[in-house]
Amino acid sequence: MVDPELRPDPDRLLQTLGQAARDAARGKLRVYFGASAGVGKTYAMLAAARAQRQQGVDVVAGIVETHGRRETAALLEGIESLPLRQLPYRGRRLQEFDLDGALARRPALILVDELAHSNAPGARHAKRWQDVHELLAAGIDVWTTLNVQHLDSLNEAVGGITGIRVWETVPERVFDAADEVILVDTSADELLRRLREGRVYLPEQARRAGEHFFRKGNLIALRELALRRTADHVDDDVQSYRRERAIQTVWRTREAIVACVGADPDAEHVVRSAHRLAQELECDWHVITLDAPRLTPQSPSARDALGQALALAETLGARVETLPGGDLVHAVARYARRHNMTKVLVGRGRAQARARGWRTWSAVLAGALAPGWIWHRSSFADALAAGCPEVDVIRLGASAHARAPARGRPRAVAREPGPRRPAGYAWAVAYCAAAAGLSALAFPVLHQTNIVMLFLLAVVAVALRHGRGPAALASVLSVGLFDFFFVQPLASFAVSDVQYLLTFLVLLGVGLLIGQLTAGLRMQARTSVKRAAETRGLYEFARELSSALQPEQIVASTGAFVHAAFGSRCALYILGLDERLAPSVPPGQDLPELDPALAQWVYDHGQAAGAGTTTLSTGALLYLPLKAPLRTRGVLAIENPRDVPFSVADARRQVDTYATLVAIALERLHYVEVAQQALVSMESEKLRHSLLAAVSHDLRTPLTSLVGMAETLAREPAALPPAALETVLAMQAQARRMHAMVVNLLDMARLQSRDTPLRLEWQSMEELVGAALAAMRDALAGHRVGVAPLSALPLVECDGVLIERVLCNLLENAAKYTPPGSVIGLQASAGAGELQVSVTDAGPGVPPGHERRIFEKFARGERESATPGVGLGLAVCEAIVHAHRGRIWVEPAPGQPHGARFAFTLPLGEPPAVQPETA
Partner 1 sequence: MFDFPAQVLLIEDDPHIRRFVRLALEGEGCGVFEAETVERGLIEAGTRQPDVVILDLGLPDADGMVLIRELRGWTQVPVLVLSARAAEADKIAALDAGADDYLAKPFGLGELLARLRVLLRRHARGGAGSPAVVAFGAVRVDLPRREVTRDGQHVHLTAIEYRLLAALLSRRGKVVTHRELLREVWGPSHVEHSHYLRIYMGHLRQKLEADPAQPRYLLTEVGVGYRYAG
Question: Could you list the residues that contact partner 1 (CB under 8 A)?
Answer: 696-697, 700-709, 711-712, 715, 735-736, 739, 743, 759, 761-764, 766-771, 773-774, 778, 785, 787, 789-791, 795, 800-801, 804, 911-912, 914, 917, 919
Q: 125 by DSSP, 3-state: which?
A: strand
| Cβ proximity to partner 1, 537 vs 800, nearer residue | 800
Rounded to an integer, what distance in angstroms lies between the CA atom of residue 255 and that of residue 342? 6
CB of 801 to partner 1, least distance (A): 4
Minimum CB separation of residue 777 from partner 1 in Å reads: 9
Q: Which is nearer to partner 1, 113 or 804 (CB)?
A: 804
- At residue 149's C-alpha, the angle toward residues 147 and 150, to 5°, is 70
Q: To the nearest whole angstrom, how small is the minimum distance from the Cβ of residue 894 to partner 1? A: 21
Question: Among residues 156 and 747, whose Cβ is nearest to partner 1?
Answer: 747
CA dihedral 14, 16, 19, 21 (to 10 degrees): -70
Q: Evaluate whether 339 touches 259 at the Cβ level (below 8 Å).
A: no
Q: 370 or 731: whose CB is closer to partner 1?
A: 731
| DSSP line for 838-898 | EEE--SS-PPTT-TTGGGPPP-TTTTTTTSTTTTTHHHHHHHHHHHTT--EEEEEPTTSSS
Residue 663: closest CA among 756, 554, 774, 807: 554
Distance between CA atoms of 747 and 757, rounded to whole angstroms? 13
Residue 226 and residue 32: Cα distance in Å, rounded? 11
Helix (H) or strand (E) segment spanning residue 885: none
Kindly state the smallest distance separating residue 909's Cβ from partner 1, in Å. Answer: 12
* Whether the bond into 489 is cis, omega within 30 of 0: yes
Cα(708)–Cα(730) distance, integer angstroms: 13
**What is the nearest approach in angstroms of partner 1 to the Cβ of residue 690?**
14
For the beta carbon of residue 768, count every other beta carbon within 10 angstroms: 24
Residue 726 or 778 with smaller CB distance to partner 1: 778
User: What DSSP string describes 83-113?
Assistant: PPEEEEETTEEEEE--HHHHHHH--SEEEE-
Minimum CB distance to partner 1, residue 542 (Å)? 53
Nearer to partner 1, 457 or 706 (CB): 706
Least Å from the CB of residue 825 to partner 1:
12
Among candidate residues 308, 312, 330, 332, the one with its CA nearest the CA of residue 322: 332
User: Which residue, 643 or 716, is less far from partner 1 as judged by CB?
Assistant: 716
Residues in contact with 527: Cβ distance below 8 Å, sequence separation at least 6, in sequence order:
293
CB 904 → partner 1: shortest distance, Å?
17
Closest to 378 in 3D by CA, of 400, 346, 354, 352: 346
Smallest separation, CB 699 to partner 1 (Å) = 8
Closer to partner 1 at the Cβ: 5 or 698? 698
Q: Which is nearer to partner 1, 76 or 823 (CB)?
A: 823
What are residue 627's DSSP bridge partners?
Answer: 632
* Half-sphere exposure (Cβ direction) of 193: Cα atoms closer than 13 Å: 5
CB of 729 to partner 1, least distance (A): 13
Q: How near is the Cβ of 821 to partner 1 at its closest, in Å?
A: 19
Residue 763 beta carbon to partner 1: minimum distance, rounded to whole angstroms: 6
Answer yes or no: are the C-beta atoms of 899 and 845 closer than 8 Å: yes
Instruction: Decide whether 506 or 795 has the Cβ nearer to partner 1.
Output: 795
- In the complex with partner 1, the residue whose CB is nearer, 438 or 742, is 742
Cβ proximity to partner 1, 418 vs 786, nearer residue: 786
Beta-strand relationship, 180-184 and 29-34: parallel
Q: How many helices (H) and strands (E) does the chain have?
A: 29, 25
Q: What does the H/E/C string look like for 12-61?
A: HHHHHHHHHHHHHHCCCEEEEEECCCCCCHHHHHHHHHHHHHHCCCCEEE
141: enclosing H helix or E strand:
strand 141-147
Complex with partner 1: residue 897 or 912, whichever CB lies closer: 912
Question: Closest approach of Cβ 732 to partner 1, in Å?
Answer: 9
CA gap 887, 592 in Å, rounded:
60
Distance CA 804, CA 876 (A): 12
Minimum CB separation of residue 887 from partner 1 in Å reads 22
Distance CA 899, CA 893 (A): 5
Q: Tally Cβ neighbours within 10 Å of residue 470.
A: 28
Alpha-carbon Rg for the chain, nearest whole angstrom, is 44
Cβ of residue 686: shortest distance to partner 1, in angstroms?
17
Instruction: Return the number of the residue (246 or 742) whose C-beta is nearest partner 1.
Output: 742
How far, in Å, CA of 401 to CA of 232, rounded?
A: 25
Q: Give the span between the Cα atoms of 681 and 677, in whole angstroms.
A: 6
At its nearest, how many Å lie between partner 1 and the CB of residue 715? 7
C-alpha distances in Å from residue 390, one per residue of 254, 321, 393, 408: 15, 22, 9, 40
Helix/strand/coil percent split, the chain, to 5 = 50, 15, 35
**CB < 8 Å & 24+ apart, contacts of 439-444:** 439/482, 439/485, 439/486, 440/485, 443/485, 443/486
> In whole angstroms, how close is the CB of 893 to partner 1 at the nearest point?
20
Q: How far apart are CA 462 and CA 429, in angstroms?
A: 9
The minimum distance between CB 660 and partner 1, in angstroms, equals 54
Residue with Cβ nearer partner 1 (497 or 778): 778
CB nearer partner 1, residue 264 or residue 799: 799
Cβ atoms of residues 286 and 256 within 8 Å: yes
- Which CB atom, from 166 or from 709, has the smaller least distance to partner 1? 709
- The 8-class DSSP code of residue 856 comes to P
Q: CB-wise, 2 or 919, nearer to partner 1?
A: 919
Q: Rounded distance, CA 520 to CA 688, Å?
A: 73
* Spatial CA neighbour of 128 closest among 160, 90, 91, 99: 99
